Amino acid sequence: MSVADVISGGGLGRRLRWMDALRNPLGTACHHAYGSPVLAVVYHAVCDTVPDHLKHIYRPRTPKEFTEDLDFLLKHFEPTDLPTVTGSAMGGPEIRRPSLLVTFDDGMREVAEVAMPILRRKGIRPALYLNLNFLDNRTLFYRHKASLLAERLSRLAETDPRRAVCASTLARAGAAAADPAAAVMTVSWHQRDVLDEIATVLEFDTAGFLADEKPYLTRDEIADLMAEGVSIGAHGFDHPNHRLLTPEQRKREVTGSVAGIRELFGPGCGSFAFPYSDEGLHDSLFGELYGDGVDVTFGTSWPRRGGPQRRIQRICFENGPAPAKQQLVKRLLRGGAGNLKRALAG
């Protein structure tokens, strides 16, 4: 038996693991829970005042909260970037130390305007996952449209006849609720045409909103970010829930959007982040995707032991005002209280 074998598998190796765990118990627990030393986190926007198109979907972090999240995470994880994570997942140099990958979905303009100044100060190069149809503010994400309509519905008087018209329209689409503002937020990707009917009733001008508010980044703005070391990946064409797609639709959405992002931003942009989650998708799909030009994929479900190394999971901290520390520890405990114990045992 070689010295390397003794160190890696014997008592000394276990003592070294204990020393690493004592120095950084959170990093050790995350490494074991996720099967990787990389903690990948996902945000959408950072802003003090939540715009109406986000208001009814999730709660973005404020600049102060985002800064505090990063300060906490950087105490336990070294910043890394997407090329390093992708290279390691595809058989390149192994990442050994607890590392942090920051990602953003949907290509919101607040990333450039609010988040990037904070990230620059912290020395973090994030990855942005873009929907091809939203680039340059060409189309509006159906969930963003639903949130805008929900806000308008919530401001209507109870006696306003438009409430009843919208409630009836939503009920016909199967999106019934006592409050039409709540009902409109249940409209699915497959039902999204009904949002245009509601917009007509409420006299909401989608094209005018896109032209005036410009909620999404443009290709020129993305090119400027890439010049700073920001990485780019695909998030699909228009953000469907993949669990509701046929296998053919799912594969076209992934491989087609990755090809489109590569064409626009370069051959290195070969990763894909699943909208919502990749939970429930069969491992065979990922084998097909990786064989068809997709480098790595990201989801937001709990990692499966023994799954493809190129299938990486992220954690989102936009689930309420609790700080990243509290949300991360809660997630680790929910995933199994024995994570740290098993990590130390090796």
Closest by Cα among 294, 258, 223, 8 to 129: 258
**Nearest CA-CA partner of 165 in 136, 200, 189, 135:** 200
Are residues 46 and 66 in contact, defined by beta-carbon separation less than 8 angstroms? yes
Q: What are phi and psi of 149, to 5 degrees?
A: -70, -40
**178 token code pair:** 């006592």
Neighbours of 177 (CB within 10 A): 14
CB atoms within 10 A of CB 103: 24
- In the chain, which residue ranges form alpha helices assigned H by DSSP? 3-9, 11-23, 25-34, 52-55, 63-76, 82-89, 109-110, 116-122, 142-155, 161-172, 180-184, 193-201, 206-213, 219-227, 247-265, 283-290, 324-335, 339-345
Q: Please give the chain's pLDDT, 346 residues, in tens.
A: 343 443 344 454 444 344 555 578 888 888 877 778 899 999 999 999 999 999 999 999 999 999 999 999 999 999 999 999 999 999 999 998 999 999 999 999 999 999 999 999 999 999 999 999 999 999 999 999 999 999 999 999 999 999 999 999 999 888 877 899 999 999 999 999 999 999 999 999 999 999 999 999 999 999 999 999 999 999 999 999 998 899 999 999 999 999 999 999 999 999 999 999 999 898 889 999 999 999 999 999 876 655 568 999 999 999 888 999 999 888 888 765 444 444 444 3
Token pair 């030393």 is found at: 37
